[in-house]
Amino acid sequence: MTNPNEYNGWTNYATWRVNLEMFDGQSAADFDIQHQDDYGAGQALKEYVEETIEMSTTEGIARDYAYAFLSDVNWQEIAQHMLNEDNEV
């Protein structure tokens, strides 16, 4: 059974888009997560994106929408992808 929310091979659009916009071309070493499990690494990546939002936006509706969008991201999937790419090199 396939997931109807899948997007370009990722869990959903939000996961694909955040990976593309925030992490494409970066490695686990860039975020010092190479020795963490998927969950811990995912949480570190989530914190990085949240800090980026905090630094680049002001309080208000745009920030609220950004956080709502992030709530759909599968952080463990992004972390796993990043960790797997590092292991392939």
Tell me which residue has tokens 């920030």: 63
Per the CB < 8 A criterion, the answer to whether 82 and 41 are in contact is yes
Lowest mean pLDDT among 22-26, 43-47, 82-86: 82-86
Chain Cα centroid distance, residue 31? 12
Across the range 39-63, mean pLDDT stands at 96
Q: Does some domain include residue 3?
A: no
Of the pLDDT bands very low, low, confident and very high (cuts 50, 70, 90), residue 88 is low
pLDDT in tens, 58-70: 999 999 999 999 9
> Domain span at residue 65?
13-88
pTM above 0.75, yes or no: yes
Total domain count, the chain? 1
Q: Does some domain include residue 8?
A: no
Q: What percent of the chain has pLDDT over 70?
A: 94
Q: Does some domain include residue 7?
A: no
Q: Does some domain include residue 1?
A: no
Q: Does some domain include residue 47?
A: yes
User: How many residues are given for the chain?
Assistant: 89
Q: Does some domain include residue 2?
A: no
